[in-house]
């Protein structure tokens, strides 16, 4: 949902410059970054779970 809203905002701001390849690049970048954040979150929760 967040990714969809981000991509729509990018399209709104860029207008005609938001070509298919530009949006594809932003999609790939967002997916990579979200994966990093999700994996880090799992690491953090795992660290706290092991302390209890």
Q: pLDDT, tens digit, for every residue of 26-37?
A: 999 999 999 999
Instruction: Decide if 23 contacts 7 (C-beta within 8 A).
Output: yes
Which residues lie closer than 8 Å to 30 by C-beta, 6 or more apart? Answer: 3, 6, 7
Q: What number of residues does the chain have?
A: 52
Strands (E) across 1-52 are located at none
Distance of CA 47 to the CA centre of its chain: 24
Q: pLDDT, tens digit, for every residue of 1-52?
A: 899 999 999 999 999 999 999 999 999 999 999 999 999 999 999 877 777 6
């Amino acid at each position: 949902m967040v990714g969809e809203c981000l991509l729509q905002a990018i399209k709104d701001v860029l207008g005609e410059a938001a070509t298919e390849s530009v949006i594809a690049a932003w999609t790939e970048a967002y997916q990579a970054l979200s994966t990093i954040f999700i994996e880090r979150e799992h690491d953090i929760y795992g660290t706290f779970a092991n302390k209890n």
